[in-house]
C-alpha cells in the first residue's frame, strides 16, 4: 500500500501535493517524493524516511509548478532508499509516474527493456512502468498509457505526466483505489479522499481500467478502447478527520476491513507468480529434520497455528518458541533446523536476538515479515513478505492474517516437496486457501451479530477463550487481542485443560468464548461448553461445524465452511471484531489504546 496524489491547476502544485501526502501518510511512510513539471522538464525531490524530511528538502529547494505528482511509499519491491522512492522517470526523463500496487511481471518487462539498452536505476517493480511508457511513447500519451497498461500484470493505481503533453495529467487504475477530485482552482488524482478534502468534496471514483485525463479546467474519462465514458461525481460528506480512516472510527477497524485484499495480495505473491513464490521454490526443505518457529505476541500465535498445519501436512516436528525466551534456553538448533522468525515490524528486539542466536548456531533462517528492509528481513537467509501494507493500529490484525496465509502456503509447498501430498491434494489445498479472501469479505459484510454480542460484554471482569487443536491456537490470539485493547482480564485454554484446575474460576455469568472449526473434535469442545454452562457461564460459540442450538446461555455465530487447517483465518476475524467492539463500547479512550504509530521505533528502544 502506498499513497499517491497529483494536481493540475492554477496554483503552485508543491504545497498542495505535500499537504495531500501528509493525509496519505497512513498508507506508507518509509519514503516519499514529488515531481513537478515546468518549462525545463521535471523537478524531482524524493528521499527515504518520513515525510517531514521531504518537506524540509522541498522547502529548501525552489521547486515550483502547476502540475505535479507525489507519493508516499510502503516498500514492497526494493528496500526503502532514495533511489527506490517515487516518482520514477524513464531514462530519457520524458515520462514521470507514481504507482501504488504490485507489478507481477516486472522482471520479464525489465529484462526485455534491458535487452533494448534501457538502463534501470532502481530495484522497484514501479520503474518498469515509467520505462515502458517512455519506450512505447510515440507522441500520443493516451495511446501510450493504454499500451503500457495492457502490458502490465498485477495491480496498479497510476499518476502519469509526460513532457510532450504539459497540459495533461493522466490516471489509470486496476485493483487499487484511485479517485479524481474536482476543485475550482484545479483537479486532483489521489489514492484516497482525505488527500483532496481540503480543496473539494466532489470526487469521481475510478473503476478498473478507466483512464482519466485531467487538465486545469476539467476531467474526461475513457475506456481502454479510447471511448469516452460518462461518470457521475459523488459528494463526500465526511469530516477530514474521519476521512483519514476511510470513514472508520479507528485504524484498527479499517485494518480489519482490509483483510480480504491483504489476503488476496499475500496469497497471490506466494501461491501465484510473485517474489514470495520464487523464494519458496528455492528452499530445499529435504535437508531439515525439524522446524522451530520463534516470535512474540500475536506473531507467536500465528506460529502456533502454523505448527499444527506444518505437522499435519509435512509430518516434520515443529516447535514454537517465544522469542523472548529463545536465547536463554540454550536452544537445540543446528544446520538441520529451519528456524522461522515471524514479525510484522521486523524490528522486535527479542525476535532479532532469537534470529541471531539461531544463525550463530548454524540454523537456516527464514523470516515472515511485513516491513521491507527491516533488520529481520535483511539478516535472515530467506525472507517472505506479508503484503499487508502499513499497520497503524497497535493491535495487529491484517498482518496477522497475512502471516497465517504465508504459513499455510509454505506448509503446502513443503508437503509437496516432501512427497507427503499428491498434485491433486496440493491443488485442492491451494484452492481452499485461495477461497479465503472471498470468505473473509463475506464475513465482513455481515458482522452485526458479533458486534451486538460484544456490546453486552463490556462489563465482564474476565473472559475465557477455549478451543482444541488449531482452534486452541487461535483462541490464544482472541484472548491476547481482547486484553490488549479492552483491558479485560482474559485467558486462553485448550478445552480439555479446563478440568485441571481452571474450571473453578468459571462462575455465574463468566463469559467463555468457544471456537469450533475442527469437525472431528466437535463433541469434545461441545462437552466443554456444556460443562461451563452448567457452572453458570454464558458462552459465545463461534465455528463452522456447530450442531448445538442457541439458548439463554448460549449464543452461536456461524462461520463459512473451509478446510479446518485454514479456518483460523476466518475465526480470527470475528475474534478481532469482538475485541474491537468490546473495547470501543467500554468508554475507554480507545483511540489512545488501540492506535499508535511509530511502534517499530518504540520496540527497538524498549525491548
**List of residues contacting ligand M6R (CB under 6 A):** 296-299, 343-345, 348, 351, 394-396, 480-481, 484
User: Please, what is the minimum distance in Å from the beta carbon of residue 393 to ligand M6R?
Assistant: 8
User: Please, what is the minimum distance in Å from the beta carbon of residue 477 to ligand M6R?
Assistant: 8
Taking only Cα atoms into account, the Rg of the chain, rounded to an integer number of angstroms, comes to 25
148 vs 344 by CB, closer to ligand M6R? 344
- Alpha helix stretches (DSSP H) within 458-521: 470-486
Reported as type and span, the H/E element at residue 592 is helix 590-594
User: Please, what is the minimum distance in Å from the beta carbon of residue 326 to ligand M6R?
Assistant: 13
Q: Where are the beta strands (DSSP E) in 519-605?
A: 538-543, 554-558
User: Please, what is the minimum distance in Å from the beta carbon of residue 397 to ligand M6R?
Assistant: 8
297 vs 467 by CB, closer to ligand M6R? 297
User: Please, what is the minimum distance in Å from the beta carbon of residue 296 to ligand M6R?
Assistant: 4
Give per-residue burial for 323-345: e unless 16+ CB within 10 Å, then b: bbebbeeebebeeebbbbbbbbb
CA distances from 214 to 160, 186, 332 (A): 11, 9, 62
81 vs 604 by CB, closer to ligand M6R? 604
Distance (Å, whole) CA 564 – CA 430: 13
- Report CA 118 to chain centroid distance, whole Å: 33
85 vs 343 by CB, closer to ligand M6R? 343
User: Please, what is the minimum distance in Å from the beta carbon of residue 579 to ligand M6R?
Assistant: 9
549 vs 592 by CB, closer to ligand M6R? 592
47 vs 579 by CB, closer to ligand M6R? 579
14 vs 387 by CB, closer to ligand M6R? 387
CA distances from 381 to 283, 339, 411, 513 (A): 10, 10, 18, 39
User: Please, what is the minimum distance in Å from the beta carbon of residue 413 to ligand M6R?
Assistant: 23
85 vs 259 by CB, closer to ligand M6R? 259
**Contact (CB, 8 A) for 211 and 221:** yes
405 vs 518 by CB, closer to ligand M6R? 405
Closest by CA to 586, choosing from 576, 597, 575, 578, is 578
- Adjacent-strand bridge partners of 558: 543
Residue nearest to ligand M6R (CB): 297
**Contact (CB, 8 A) for 465 and 578:** no
The dihedral built from the CA positions of residue 346, 349, 352 and 358, taken in this order, carries a sign that is negative
User: Please, what is the minimum distance in Å from the beta carbon of residue 352 to ligand M6R?
Assistant: 9
Distance (Å, whole) CA 159 – CA 167: 14
Distance (Å, whole) CA 351 – CA 326: 9
User: Please, what is the minimum distance in Å from the beta carbon of residue 577 to ligand M6R?
Assistant: 14
Amino acid at each position: 500500500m502506498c499513497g499517491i496524489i497529483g494536481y493540475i491547476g492554477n496554483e503552485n502544485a508543491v504545497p498542495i501535493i505535500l499537504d495531500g501526502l501528509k493525509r496519505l501518510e497512513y498508507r506508507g511512510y518509509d519514503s516519499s517524493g514529488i515531481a513537478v513539471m515546468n518549462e525545463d522538464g521535471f523537478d524531482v525531490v524524493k528521499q527515504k524516511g518520513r515525510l517531514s524530511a521531504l518537506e524540509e528538502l522541498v522547502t529548501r529547494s525552489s521547486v515550483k509548478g502547476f502540475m505535479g505528482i507525489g507519493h508516499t511509499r510502503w516498500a514492497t519491491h526494493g528496500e526503502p532508499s532514495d533511489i527506490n522512492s517515487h516518482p520514477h522517470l524513464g531514462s530519457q526523463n520524458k515520462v514521470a509516474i507514481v504507482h501504488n500496487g504490485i507489478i507481477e511481471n516486472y522482471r520479464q518487462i525489465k529484462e526485455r527493456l534491458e535487452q533494448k539498452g534501457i538502463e534501470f536505476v532502481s530495484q522497484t517493480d514501479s520503474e518498469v512502468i515509467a520505462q515502458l511508457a517512455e519506450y512505447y511513447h510515440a507522441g500520443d500519451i493516451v495511446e501510450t498509457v493504454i499500451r503500457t497498461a495492457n502490458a502490465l500484470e498485477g495491480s496498479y493505481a497510476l499518476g502519469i505526466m509526460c513532457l510532450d503533453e504539459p497540459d495533461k495529467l493522466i490516471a489509470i487504475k486496476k485493483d487499487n483505489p484511485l479517485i479524481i477530485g474536482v476543485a475550482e482552482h484545479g483537479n486532483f488524482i489521489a489514492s484516497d479522499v482525505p488527500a483532496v478534502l481540503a480543496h473539494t468534496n466532489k470526487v469521481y471514483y475510478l473503476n478498473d481500467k478507466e483512464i482519466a485525463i485531467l487538465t486545469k479546467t476539467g476531467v474526461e474519462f475513457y475506456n481502454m478502447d479510447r471511448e469516452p465514458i460518462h461518470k457521475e461525481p459523488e459528494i463526500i460528506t465526511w469530516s477530514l478527520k474521519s476521512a483519514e480512516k476511510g470513514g472508520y472510527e479507528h485504524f484498527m477497524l479499517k485494518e480489519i476491513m482490509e483483510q480480504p485484499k491483504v489476503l488476496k495480495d499475500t496469497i497471490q505473491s506466494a501461491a501465484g507468480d510473485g517474489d514470495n513464490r520464487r523464494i519458496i521454490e528455492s528452499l530445499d526443505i529435504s535437508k531439515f529434520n525439524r522446524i522451530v518457529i520463534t516470535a512474540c505476541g500475536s506473531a507467536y500465535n500465528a506460529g502456533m497455528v502454523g505448527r499444527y498445519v506444518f505437522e499435519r501436512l509435512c509430518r516434520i516436528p515443529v516447535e514454537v518458541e517465544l522469542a523472548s525466551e529463545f536465547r536463554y534456553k540454550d536452544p537445540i538448533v543446528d544446520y538441520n533446523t529451519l528456524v522461522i522468525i515471524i514479525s510484522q515490524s521486523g524490528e522486535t528486539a527479542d525476535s532479532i536476538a532469537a534470529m541471531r542466536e539461531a544463525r550463530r548456531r548454524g540454523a537456516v533462517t527464514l523470516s515472515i515479515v511485513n516491513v521491507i528492509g527491516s533488520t529481520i528481513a535483511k539478516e535472515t537467509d530467506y525472507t517472505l513478505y506479508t503484503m499487508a501494507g502499513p499497520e497503524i493500529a497497535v493491535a495487529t490484525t491484517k498482518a496477522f492474517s497475512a502471516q497465517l496465509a504465508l504459513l499455510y502456503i509454505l506448509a503446502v509447498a513443503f508437503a509437496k516437496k516432501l512427497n507427503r501430498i499428491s498434485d491433486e491434494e496440493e491443488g485442492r489445498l491451494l484452492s481452499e486457501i485461495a477461497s479465503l479472501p472471498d470468505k473473509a469479505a463475506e464475513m465482513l459484510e455481515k458482522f452485526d451479530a458479533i458486534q451486538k454480542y460484544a456490546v453486552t460484554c463490556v462489563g465482564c471482569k474476565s473472559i475465557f477463550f477455549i478451543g482444541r487443536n488449531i482452534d486452541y491456537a487461535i483462541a490464544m490470539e482472541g484472548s491476547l487481542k481482547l486484553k490488549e485493547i479492552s483491558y479485560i482480564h482474559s485467558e486462553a485454554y485448550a478445552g480439555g485443560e479446563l478440568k485441571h484446575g481452571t474450571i473453578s474460576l468459571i462462575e455465574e455469568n463468566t463469559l467463555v468464548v468457544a471456537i469450533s472449526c475442527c469437525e472431528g473434535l466437535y463433541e469434545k469442545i461441545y462437552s466443554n461448553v456444556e460443562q461451563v454452562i452448567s457452572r453458570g457461564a454464558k458462552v459465545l460459540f463461534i465455528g463452522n461445524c456447530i450442531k448445538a442450538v442457541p439458548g439463554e446461555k448460549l449464543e452461536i455465530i456461524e462461520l463459512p465452511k473451509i478446510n479446518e487447517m485454514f479456518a483460523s483465518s476466518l475465526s480470527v476475524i470475528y475474534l478481532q471484531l469482538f475485541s474491537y467492539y468490546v473495547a470501543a463500547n467500554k468508554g475507554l479512550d480507545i483511540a489512545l489504546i488501540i492506535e499508535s504509530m511509530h511502534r517499530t521505533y518504540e520496540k527497538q528502544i524498549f525491548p
